Amino acid sequence: MPILQHLKPRDGQRDSKVSFDVGPAPPAHAPSVKSVGLLGQMTGSRADVIVCDDGESLNNSQTQTMRDKLSEVIKEFEAIIKPGGRVLYLGTPQSESSIYALLPGRGYTSRVWPARYPGPRQAKIFGDMLAPKLLTDLESGQASVGDPTDPERFDDEDLLEREASYGKTGFQLQFQLDQSLSDANKFPLALSDLCVMNLPGDLLPEKVVWASSPDLAHTDLHCVGMSGDRFYRPMAIQGDWIKPQGSVLSIDPAGRGKDETAFAVVKMLNSQLFLTRAGGFQGGYSDNVLQSLADVAKEEKVNYIIVESNFGDGMFEKLLTPFIGKTHPCTIEGVRHSVQKERRIIDCCEPVMNQHRLIVDRKVVEQDVASTKSLPPEQAVRYQLFYQMSRITREKGSLAHDDRLDVLSIAVNYWVEQMARDVDQAVMDRHDDLRNEEIERFMDNCLGLDKSKQPPNWISYP
């Protein structure tokens, strides 16, 4: 370019395509411009301006482990940049967990430039990140919703062709930079499908009616779901409060590493599942952990315990049995899995949650947050059950930690075969049984008959 001719390297200066000097630059150890990959040799370099161009891609951000590694790599920029320098990130987010979503929390200012002028819904999603010029153009009438923002590069016809090629979801993510549709398709378990309510004592409601009306949203519960995701209370509770038909404790043991021994208590009543306890213990196979699990089984009146036996080949069951025998005797059984964990969890939990048959005790949500307060903020959220639930995908290794969600899926899977019964029919059957019992008592008292003393040929009326 003619206006840049004065920057052409002179004789004796570096002129490689990956590192070169500009003409006016004085002799220096480091080149004026240097190009290096994110995983290349950056340590030891110094810069006045760093431009990270498309640092995130599908190949290096597919799993949570890869995203964590990428997030740590870009921290190196803070060590390289000179005082008063600038770091610029240019790129397209690939998911809700994009590294670009973390930058505002590190003090960066984000600007979003979609290919078309956004409508009110998208503008609300972008918030303060939407480029001010686009808002000014829309407010002044210089542009309308849907017009190309850079017609010299992508005109209307070109964008229509690309939308037809990419599909609606792909176009919204790659060109409109709208992650909401992509996240809704990619993350199948939504917290809004749960019913969150207070479950006092040992009694459960016969039927819980779900709804997602805004006035039913819990505004005082900490929600770690996707943008717009909320916890909702039931719209109505029908029938009586009665004892559950069964209570299961599932356990996923772990060693003394970063993983925790996770547990979940799920009770069943009329094809509805109630999560009344969930959490995790650090300490692996210690006596404190084993006794704490036995105490949970006693407090929740568990009558069946399922232990993930893939780890330790059943050793944890043998260690837990004496503690259960002394504290709360009940059946303990191991279970092994050979299916990919992420797919198994989603295939088990998604149908139950979509039908709104998973009801969560409010205390479980509160304790889920409180149980990780001792950990660093950036790590604490990854150990929480409802963060894992809202972030799991079908890709292998999509979560750095999935212990609490895994034990919930094990307990849910145990009850799946028992859930074929219709809730309304179950309520009617129980009322019929109670009515028949009451009629029999009335007949006995009214006629003064003792059935045990009736002759063999006595005609008994129902």
Q: Is the pLDDT of residue 101 over 70?
A: yes
Angstrom distance (rounded) from CA 290 to CA 302: 15
Residues 410, 336: contact at Cβ < 8 Å?
no
Banded model confidence at residue 284, pLDDT cuts 50, 70, 90: confident
Angstrom distance (rounded) from CA 163 to CA 129: 23
| High-pLDDT (> 90) share of the chain, % | 36
Residues 302-355 pLDDT 10s: 999 999 876 566 788 888 999 999 999 999 988 888 788 899 999 899 989 998
Q: What is the rounded end-to-end Cα distance, in angstroms, of the chain?
A: 101
Residues 194, 358: contact at Cβ < 8 Å?
yes
Which residues touch 112 (CB under 8 Å, ≥6 apart)?
126, 129, 130, 131, 177
Q: What is the pLDDT of residue 182?
A: 57
Angstrom distance (rounded) from CA 233 to CA 269: 18
pTM for the model stands at: 0.65
Nearest Cα neighbor of 78 from 36, 109, 35, 107 is: 107
Per-range mean pLDDT, top range of 90-94, 165-169, 458-462: 90-94
Banded model confidence at residue 380, pLDDT cuts 50, 70, 90: confident
